[in-house]
Amino acid sequence: MKSYTEDGLLPNFRVSYTLYSIEEGGRKTPANQHIRWDFMYDDSAIATHTFMIWPEILHPDGELLTDGYVPMHGLADMFIVFSRSRAFHQQHVKPGLRGYFVEGSRRVAVCEVVAILNLHSTPLQ
């Protein structure tokens, strides 16, 4: 699968993440690059909502993981799928913010924002 950047999207922010083990309620099978996990904020005021903000997993050197299994911990660039929700996320996403990768209502990873990338720039059309 190609990178979201090849479809004209720019990464909005970067997170460090740790997948939950099976014992912690995580996945029973390994995930592959470009899995479309949704994002949930770790904030009681908005944690009841999930958002289509999809990760692209990176190698430790910052290069895109082209394919294969997702490591248990690492970095991911996050892409806001619906541009109309950008204003909401611009108000909430900041370095240090904690959140989760989710499958339905199940949390499969915890993550923390480590960098703002293109969150405040004009999205490509």
Superfamily grouping for domain 4-116: Translation factors (2.40.30.10)
> For the chain, how many residues are written?
125
**pTM score above 0.75:** yes
> How buried is 103 (Cβ within 10 angstroms: 0-12 exposed, 13-18 middle, 19+ buried)?
middle
The Cα–Cα gap between 113 and 120 comes to: 15
- Kindly list the domain boundaries of the chain, sorted by start residue: 4-116
Tens-digit pLDDT profile for the chain (125 aa)? Answer: 688 888 888 999 999 999 999 999 999 999 999 899 999 999 887 877 899 999 999 988 888 998 889 999 999 999 998 888 899 999 999 999 999 999 988 999 999 999 999 999 866 54
